[in-house]
């Protein structure tokens, strides 16, 4: 009996090593998520400093890609709340076959901004996207398609009961990702929405530096220009963030 136990004890580690090599790594997952929070500086329609949070979920398979992002911004000063904004971005893409990196998509963008020039913004769009560059260090995608936008202006003294604006738009977007070094990367998204009544241009750019394992430090800036705004508000809003980000899959 003792000899049988000894043989089993000696042979088990060798069998385990044979089944699981020392350099084994888990296969990549179709699901990834990012959670971040940090400090922010606002200029434009609101000038304050406070905290913000962001969560992004991506489910990327061979045929489809589902993306969802939720952002929250909240700031106060010594007297009152000075900034309160919530963004939701949803996009579903279907990858086309035929030997090229194209896809069709449906997208929804929803914003509640208590102190912005427009307090409610809802945009739905569809269209075609194409990966111009896609390798291990550089990704560049272009998107274009029609959409519909609903804007509710903020109440002002000149317009205490504003009417919402409804507009058919053409949305174009450029999405760029560049891996600078092993632990650093730069992302930049430029989106234009052109409509008959109003047009917007948004630049969302960030620099990410991995600290250790799945943790990273991230600096981001979001600049949005709106062509037509209510009287007494500014055309350009800028949000600068300094966040700690955690990625898991």
Tens digits of per-residue pLDDT, 44-74?
776 667 889 999 999 999 999 999 999 999 8
Nearest-CA neighbor of 234 among 243, 246, 225, 242? 225
Q: Is residue 12 domain-resident?
A: no
Residues in the chain: 249
Which residues are paired to 74 by β-bridges? 51, 84
- Which of the four pLDDT bands, split at 50, 70 and 90, describes residue 230? very high
Q: Flag whether pLDDT at 203 surpasses 80.
A: yes
Report d(CA 180, CA 83) in Å as an integer: 34
Decide if 95 is inside a domain: yes
- pLDDT exceeds 90 at position 188: yes
191 part of a folded domain:
yes
pLDDT of 13 above 70: no
- Residue 31 scores a pLDDT above 50: yes
3-state secondary structure of 10: helix
- Please determine, for residue 238, whether its predicted confidence score (pLDDT) is greater than 90: yes
CATH of residue 182: 2.40.160.40
pLDDT bucket at 100, cuts 50 / 70 / 90: low
Looking at the structure of the chain, the number of domains it has is 1
Domain membership flag for residue 3? no
User: How far is Cα 68 from Cα 56, in angstroms, rounded to an integer?
Assistant: 6
Instruction: Supply the range of the domain harboring residue 219.
Output: 31-248
Kindly state the average pLDDT of the residues 17-42. 69
**Is the residue at 8 inside a domain?**
no
Please tell me whether the overall predicted TM-score, pTM, comes out greater than 0.85 for this model.
no
Average pLDDT over residues 127-136: 92
Check residues 9 and 116 and name the one with the higher pLDDT. Answer: 116
């Amino acid at each position: 009996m003792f000899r049988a136990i000894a043989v089993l004890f000696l042979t088990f580690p060798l069998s385990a090593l044979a089944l699981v090599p020392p350099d084994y790594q888990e296969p990549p997952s179709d699901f990834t998520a990012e959670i971040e929070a940090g400090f922010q500086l606002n200029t434009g329609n609101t000038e304050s400093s406070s905290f913000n949070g962001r969560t992004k979920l991506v489910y990327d398979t061979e045929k489809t890609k589902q993306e969802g992002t939720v952002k929250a911004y909240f700031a106060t000063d010594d007297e009152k709340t000075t900034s309160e904004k919530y963004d939701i971005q949803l996009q579903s893409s279907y990858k086309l076959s035929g030997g090229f990196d194209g896809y069709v998509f449906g997208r929804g963008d929803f914003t509640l901004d208590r102190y912005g020039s427009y307090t409610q913004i809802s945009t739905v769009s569809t269209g075609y996207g194409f990966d111009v560059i896609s390798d291990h260090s550089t990704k560049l995608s272009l998107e274009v398609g029609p959409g519909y936008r609903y804007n509710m202006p903020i109440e002002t003294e000149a317009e205490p009961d504003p009417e919402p604006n409804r507009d058919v738009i053409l949305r174009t977007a450029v999405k760029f990702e560049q891996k600078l070094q092993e632990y650093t990367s730069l992302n930049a998204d430029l989106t234009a929405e052109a409509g008959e009544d109003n047009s917007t241009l948004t630049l969302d750019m960030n620099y990410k530096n991995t600290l250790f394992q799945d943790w990273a430090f991230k600096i981001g800036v979001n600049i949005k220009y709106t062509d037509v705004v209510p009287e007494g508000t500014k055309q350009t809003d800028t949000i600068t963030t300094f966040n700690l980000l955690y990625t898991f899959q």
